[in-house]
Chains A and B, each alone.
Chain A
């Protein structure tokens, strides 16, 4: 008992000055003093923090850099990172039902975080509130707030309204990156004539298809209607959804212009779709996906930013203000327990030092205002980060806002049904009906 009091007191003694230092340094010149890096290593906080995360491969290596930066400040806290990939929802749900959740988890779906909060599984992270407020815009605090309390820190955001293209392929075809959807379609035809398929689609990972749908929906109907669909206030059989599906069929139905055709699109996952478009020889010209594509390109191919690959915002469909809306997805870090080690880690993650460790590898967007843009390795990252920080209309990834069984489970719900749509893009109304049935069932089950 006594020991715990000492540790807690010690923690307060450490965290408080750090937070104050962050507050003081936040307004001052950004490149010099940054909270956490100037503090001496803290050896009084110790313990283990088990962390269930989604990231594997190159992203896991990047996160290991963040943990290393954390260990410079807290060398006695051991972070055990458990990479789970697409199976995270399954493993986490099992652990929670079994009564043995990890200490912390990275959950990409606010919908699932909401479920956990209402089930009482999560501990609030109010101790990190001031650190977050010092470094992020108020909307980020809002994103992590559920039922009035702060439960989640959005550590890594991804700008999802992007189009990545192969620069040499575009040059050989004499096309410029499209600004409108009509231009996209005509560019695709020209690319096909020049001898390279236009689209690289990773349909084996169902979420890439939901991302494409959401970008199309957002650009066609705007943020307000997007939020209505995300909250299931309008059904999936709404005419707007059918229209968006028809637009999506203009891409998915152009089978000779997709690398591998429909069956190839169904067999290639996200990573494959990126290496297909940017490996050498390049097998396709464009990938629709978020900013973390860059991380995969840099680690798995030899393509260089600017000369090999480049990015533009997803083309506009309905002209107007919403054509610059940004859809983001984010990794929400939540805590199932409350220990000094966890508190130290969460608070550290809100500071620029944590974001720096990953930002300099590229393919990472954070809303952290105190991370200097110059730390990003290339112009693409800088532009992406600027877009995220300055976006006036920001919406969250729709499939992540849904109940987990509908929005983020392998082989069923949105992921499975959009794969069905890829198989038969002419059946928009049929797929819409199935989506609505699955959504209603999932929302009903959640209420129980």
Chain B
């Protein structure tokens, strides 16, 4: 305030130099008043429930009155199979998801860096973040339906598998009588030995009328002719009809390929059935033969993977989860990429490094801080995953897909209302997240 020269600074704790401006005590009080609402919220909704839960975890089912159980609830955690499955599943989530999300995000960010349609692509990949995890769960559950006619993923798998192993004409059919038997390859063979001048009857059931090949007409039992083996293959089902007998209303199965084999299984001829199901093998030498239908006719169409079954449910959940979060990783890493100094890359390229070497030796190390942010965030997210699991997994596999947060909810709020064990699970989850959180906080401090 004094003109020119060096003046001694009044100590900060002294009286204010300008009237009306608060001193140090006043400043602290102002700060406290501004912080008070936030502190109040934190106290009521964060600190109090945390302390309450920790204390509650040492008591039993019926509340605080006289049911101290010490660490029994924690022991239950590690001995009940539902809970150990939950812990195991979370371990799988933590091992797989953050790494894959970061990897995918990095790949997307780097590949679309200088492409013209980068914005459109990034929007499309980021869009899943805009829907709630619950909606995602419901949508993916429909896509994962096992029936290829309903589930999109299995429909795709079916059309692919249909190219390599197409379904047979009569994939549902099975014999109507026991004289027709399945062979080890999946085909059918008529047990009764045939010689020239006999008639073979191969009755099949299990397909609806709509499943009969086109052009079929009423089946006919052929008469025996010398020197050849005749037969009929037909849909041996009619209300009130007899199995093994060609009744009125039963249709032939045209187009089915039949093979004639010797008693030892050597193929000597093949033919196809006509619209009324009849077929014949002409010019047959005397001897004993069998008639068979190849396995190809009965090849089952692709039944669909059981994505929502007990074995595949966790991978299915992981895929849906990564689908949501890859966009987040891509955007954050993309931002980190954009902020990267280009001259280091140029220098590397000038020095003769290939694109892959540039990527591995320069880009990734420079991006390390960003990558670790995403990685740590994903670990925390994955430890507390809940809504995707409860909405995607059908009831019957909820115990296979169990995760810690879901187990806590079910134990505490499911039928048994065991708040003691539920609180113990909550505390356990808190302890799991704590080291990761500490890591994050340390990094924030370092950056500041």
Binding site for B on A (CB under 8 A): 86, 89-90, 93-94, 97, 171-175, 192-196, 203-206, 260-261, 263-264, 266-267, 269, 403-406, 408-413, 415-416, 419, 422-423, 442, 445, 448
B414 near A412 with CB under 8 A, answer yes
Q: What are 18 inter-chain pairs, A to B, with CB distance below 8 A? A: A86-B395, A89-B415, A90-B413, A172-B208, A174-B239, A175-B239, A192-B206, A195-B207, A195-B209, A403-B415, A404-B415, A405-B414, A406-B415, A410-B398, A410-B414, A412-B399, A412-B414, A448-B62
Q: Which residues of B contact A406 (CB under 8 A)?
A: 415
Closest chain B CB from A378 CB (angstroms): 26
B415 near A204 with CB under 8 A, answer no
A419 near B396 with CB under 8 A, answer yes
- Known contacts A263-B146, A411-B410; is-contact A204 B208 (Cβ 8 Å): no
B208 near A93 with CB under 8 A, answer no
Q: Which residues of B contact A193 (CB under 8 A)?
A: 176, 205-206, 237
A145 to B406, CA, bound (A): 36
A174 near B394 with CB under 8 A, answer no
Binding site for A on B (CB under 8 A): 61-62, 82, 145-147, 172, 176, 205-211, 237-240, 303, 306, 308-310, 394-399, 410, 413-417, 419
* B204 to chain A: closest residue by CB: A193
Q: Which single member of A90, A403, A445 contacts B414 (CB below 8 Å)? A: A90
Q: Which single member of B172, B237, B239, B415 contacts A413 (CB below 8 Å)? A: B415
Q: Which residues of A contact B410 (CB under 8 A)?
A: 410-412
Q: Which residues of B contact A422 (CB under 8 A)?
A: 396
Q: Which residues of A contact B237 (CB under 8 A)?
A: 173, 193-195
A35 to B303, CA, bound (A): 57
Minimum-distance CB pairs A-B, first 8: A174-B239, A195-B208, A409-B415, A193-B205, A405-B415, A405-B416, A266-B396, A404-B415
Closest chain B CB from A126 CB (angstroms): 29
A196 to B209, CA, bound (A): 10
A203 near B396 with CB under 8 A, answer yes
Closest chain B CB from A121 CB (angstroms): 13
Q: Which residues of A contact B176 (CB under 8 A)?
A: 193
B413 near A93 with CB under 8 A, answer yes
A203 to B303, CA, bound (A): 19
Q: Which residues of B contact A263 (CB under 8 A)?
A: 146, 306, 309
- Known contacts A267-B145, A411-B395; is-contact A194 B205 (Cβ 8 Å): yes
Q: Which residues of A contact B240 (CB under 8 A)?
A: 174
A261 to B304, CA, bound (A): 12
Closest chain A CB from B81 CB (angstroms): 11
A166 to B238, CA, bound (A): 18
A411 near B211 with CB under 8 A, answer no
Closest chain B CB from A278 CB (angstroms): 16
B413 near A174 with CB under 8 A, answer no
A269 to B395, CA, bound (A): 9
A196 near B208 with CB under 8 A, answer yes
A419 near B205 with CB under 8 A, answer no
B395 near A205 with CB under 8 A, answer yes
A192 to B204, CA, bound (A): 12
* B397 to chain A: closest residue by CB: A266
Closest chain A CB from B191 CB (angstroms): 19
B415 near A195 with CB under 8 A, answer no
Closest chain B CB from A85 CB (angstroms): 12
Q: Which residues of A contact B206 (CB under 8 A)?
A: 192-193, 195
9 further A-B contacts with Cβ under 8 Å, apart from A204-B396, A404-B415, A411-B398, are A89-B415, A97-B417, A173-B239, A192-B205, A203-B396, A267-B145, A408-B415, A410-B414, A412-B416
Q: Which single member of B205, B209, B303, B395 contacts A206 (CB below 8 Å)? A: B395
Q: Which residues of B contact A419 (CB under 8 A)?
A: 395-396
Closest chain A CB from B370 CB (angstroms): 40
Closest chain B CB from A404 CB (angstroms): 4
**Residue among A89, A193, A413, A415 with most chain B CB within 10 A:** A193
* A281 to chain B: closest residue by CB: B210
Q: Which residues of A contact B419 (CB under 8 A)?
A: 97
B416 near A409 with CB under 8 A, answer yes
A405 to B414, CA, bound (A): 8
A205 to B395, CA, bound (A): 7
- Known contacts A192-B206, A411-B410; is-contact A267 B416 (Cβ 8 Å): no
Q: Which residues of B contact A86 (CB under 8 A)?
A: 395
- Known contacts A194-B208, A195-B209, A411-B410; is-contact A267 B415 (Cβ 8 Å): no
A301 to B104, CA, bound (A): 43
Q: Which residues of A contact B399 (CB under 8 A)?
A: 411-412, 416
Q: Which single member of B211, B238, B309 contacts A266 (CB below 8 Å)? A: B309
Q: Which single member of B172, B309, B413 contacts A195 (CB below 8 Å)? A: B172
* B62 to chain A: closest residue by CB: A448
Q: Which single member of B61, B207, B308 contacts A445 (CB below 8 Å)? A: B61
A415 to B394, CA, bound (A): 13
B414 near A267 with CB under 8 A, answer no
B396 near A267 with CB under 8 A, answer yes
- Known contacts A193-B237, A195-B211; is-contact A204 B395 (Cβ 8 Å): yes
A409 to B172, CA, bound (A): 38
Closest chain B CB from A192 CB (angstroms): 6
* B308 to chain A: closest residue by CB: A267
Q: Which residues of B contact A195 (CB under 8 A)?
A: 172, 205-211, 237
* A173 to chain B: closest residue by CB: B239
Q: Which residues of B contact A204 (CB under 8 A)?
A: 394-396
Q: Which single member of A93, A171, A173, A196 contacts B415 (CB below 8 Å)? A: A93
A423 to B176, CA, bound (A): 28
A410 to B82, CA, bound (A): 13
* A419 to chain B: closest residue by CB: B396
* A96 to chain B: closest residue by CB: B417
A94 near B398 with CB under 8 A, answer no
A94 to B415, CA, bound (A): 10
A267 near B146 with CB under 8 A, answer yes
Q: Which residues of A contact B145 (CB under 8 A)?
A: 267
A412 to B206, CA, bound (A): 37
B415 near A260 with CB under 8 A, answer no
A261 to B305, CA, bound (A): 12
- Known contacts A173-B239, A260-B147; is-contact A412 B208 (Cβ 8 Å): no
